[in-house]
DNA sequence: CAGTGGTCTAGACCACTAC
DNA sequence: TAGTGGTCTAGACCACTGG
């Protein structure tokens, strides 16, 4: 017979709950060291696996990180605000700034591991662009870092014939970026739609974004449309969920 | 000496990777049964804890669910599209429909466990409403279900003096809901801003939303402003991340 | 009632960090 | 070098699901 409480939660959950409460109450705060495996084994008189299981709960909730050889620590959370409409206003890119420069004025935002080439469009991309299945598209993959920390992965797709022979196919797309080049072609984006999904990251994403366990990612799929409502670009982004707050403003 | 590969990943990761690949390739698909602990122990000749650890990776990624006494299954994912701007268009609530009815026409959307009362505003709420700290506000908590499945938790806050003596304080707010009542008071919402965050759920939310492990939640904080830009309502929502796609449309 | 996943113990060896 | 977390074994008892 167990402790004979009518329906007591498992030990590891109670330990996790104690730690969670200590964090919520401020008794332990950002960056503080959390009691480790050995501490918990002594304090609660449990086996190592049980102590580990308790910690793994908090790790998978993303409120704590384990650092090998060192200890377990309360995670800090300092997200960047990403303003949907404002950052895509025409004034911005028509004056020669790349749109991601709107996110973090003056901070060390930089792009990384760029890859450009023509491919056959995946199904959801050809659909979004209104092209036949597997139509040729120009794909631009890149990674954004802020202060050295990887924040998001982004892949743009444009109809191959539209982009052919322009700076859109170059590593440096020039002042104002892709959207300014599209405008020069008479295909300036006028409307945007963004679709947002949440999920846990794949191992590849964990690696490329340096995610710790318990960190979800945001998938943002943005479609850029001209004034005539033809789709000229689709941008598929994967954001570190602990690094962003998304903001959207609109009218009734 | 281990298998002497220079830097081979741990066994449990390799097992997880095999299963992930089988799912990605379609060899195993939605609802299918995944090899269980005993299968993995035999097939890979590992101890039970190792097989469990491999499965726990996939469970925490949200790609499979474990059902006690039965087995482990590939999760199905069928999200609901929630259209930010459109669902809040004035025509909708001014014609007597509650705004959440815009999400799921004809489907069994219903509200649940409603709780209404005056409280002192939490810090982030008083800030959003432009009120002094701990000002009195009317709070409305509720839960939404679709086809019986809980989908989101929502808590609205309105300045107490504004809501006093109106149907906003009632369980049934009448045709068109809160926003129609505000309009009658000459405080019709004209602008909205929504802030989106992602995180792993608390145990309470796991319970109230029936979330399985590896499911993140979306926090949406919406502020409703009048044409004169005074904030009249703040709605703090927590959505089941596996149940929603958020969509926002806007112009350049 | 056989099989499943859930919890827990008591060990072991390893890689890494910090002093 | 002492202490940390990471991986792994070989058991045990339990609650639950399914035929």
Task: Render B25-58 in DSSP notation, one character per residue.
Answer: TTSS-TTPEEP-HHHHHHHHT--HHHHHHHHHHH
pLDDT at position A46, please? 95
pLDDT at position B148, please? 80
How many whole angstroms separate alpha carbon A170 and alpha carbon B157? Answer: 50
Q: Two tokens at A101?
A: 């420069």
Q: Which residues contact A177 (CB under 8 A, 6 or more apart)?
A: A93, A98, A99
Q: Are B85 and B222 in contact (CB under 8 A)?
A: no
Of A193, A200, A252, the CB nearest to B214: A200
Give me the tens of pLDDT residue by residue for chain A, a chain 252 residues long. 333 334 678 999 999 999 999 999 999 999 999 999 999 999 999 999 999 999 999 999 999 999 999 999 999 888 889 988 776 667 667 666 665 655 555 455 788 878 999 999 999 999 999 999 999 999 999 999 887 889 999 999 999 999 888 888 888 888 888 999 999 999 999 999 999 999 999 999 999 999 999 999 999 999 999 999 999 999 999 999 999 999 999 988
CB hemisphere CA count around A127 (13 angstroms): 4
Residue contact A195–B246, C-beta within 8 A: yes
What is the C-alpha end-to-end distance of chain B, expressed in Å?
61
How many Cβ atoms are within 10 Å of B36's Cβ, its own excluded?
15
pLDDT in tens, B87-143: 766 766 766 666 665 555 545 578 887 899 999 999 999 999 999 999 999 999 999
- Across the range B153-170, mean pLDDT stands at 92
Task: For residue A52, give the nucleotide whose C1' atom is nearest its CA.
Answer: D5
B243–chain A nearest CA distance, Å: 9
Q: Two tokens at B21?
A: 């690949």
pLDDT at position A91, please? 66
Angle in degrees, 0-180, between the axes of helices B48-60 and B11-24, rounded to the nearest 10: 50
How many Cβ atoms are within 10 Å of A221's Cβ, its own excluded?
18
**Bases along strand D below 7 A from a protein CB:** 3-12, 15-18
**Identical topology for domains B11-74 and B80-247:** no
Q: Identify the contact set of chain A against chain B, taking CB-CB distances under 8 A.
A: 17, 20, 49, 60-63, 79, 84-85, 88-90, 188-203, 213-214, 216-218, 241-242, 245-252
CATH, domain B80-247, list 3.90.1150.10, 3.40.1410.10, 3.50.50.60, 2.60.40.10: 3.40.1410.10
A228 — phi, psi (to 5°)? Answer: -85, 10
User: Whose CA is closest to A198, among B156, B82, B180?
Assistant: B82
Residue contact B88–A196, C-beta within 8 A: no
Residue contact A216–B196, C-beta within 8 A: no
- Domain spanning A11-74: CATH 3.40.220.10: no
Residue contact A198–B203, C-beta within 8 A: no
Domain boundaries, chain A: 11-74, 80-247
Residue contact A250–B248, C-beta within 8 A: yes
What is the overall mean pLDDT for chain B?
89
Q: Two tokens at A251?
A: 């009218």
Write the DSSP assignment of B144-202 as a string of letters.
EEETTEEEEEEEEEEEHHHHTTSGGGSSS--TTHHHHHHHHTT--EEEEEEEEEEEPPP
Angle in degrees, 0-180, between the axes of helices B37-44 and B11-24, rounded to the nearest 10: 110
Q: Identify the contact set of chain B against chain A, taking CB-CB distances under 8 A.
A: 17, 20, 49, 60-62, 79, 84-85, 88-90, 188-203, 213-214, 216-218, 241-242, 245-252
Length A204 CA → C2 C1' (Å): 40
Element (H, E) at A192: strand A189-199
């Amino acid at each position: 017979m167990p402790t004979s409480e009518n329906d007591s939660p498992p030990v590891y959950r109670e330990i996790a709950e104690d730690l969670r409460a200590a964090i919520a109450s401020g008794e332990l705060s950002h960056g503080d060291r959390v009691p480790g495996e050995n501490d918990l084994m002594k304090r609660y008189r449990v086996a190592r696996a049980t102590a580990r299981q308790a910690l793994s709960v908090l790790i998978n909730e993303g409120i704590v990180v384990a650092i090998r050889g060192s200890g377990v620590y309360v995670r800090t959370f300092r997200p960047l605000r990403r303003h949907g409409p404002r950052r895509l206003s025409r004034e911005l890119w028509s004056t020669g700034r790349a749109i991601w420069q709107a996110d973090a004025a003056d901070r060390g935002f930089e792009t990384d591991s760029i890859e450009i080439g023509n491919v056959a469009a995946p199904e959801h991309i050809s659909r979004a662009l209104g092209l036949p299945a597997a139509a040729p598209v120009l794909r631009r993959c890149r990674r954004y870092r802020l202060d050295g920390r990887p924040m998001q992965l982004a892949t743009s797709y444009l109809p191959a014939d539209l982009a052919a022979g322009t700076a859109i196919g170059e590593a440096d797309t020039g002042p104002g970026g892709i959207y300014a080049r599209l405008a020069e072609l008479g295909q300036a984006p006028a409307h945007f739609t963004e679709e947002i999904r949440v999920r846990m990251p794949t191992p590849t994403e964990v690696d490329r974004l340096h995610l710790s366990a318990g960190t979800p990612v945001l998938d943002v799929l943005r479609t850029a449309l001209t004034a005539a409502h033809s789709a000229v670009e689709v941008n598929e982004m994967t954001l570190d969920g602990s690094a962003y707050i998304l903001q959207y403003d609109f009218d009734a």
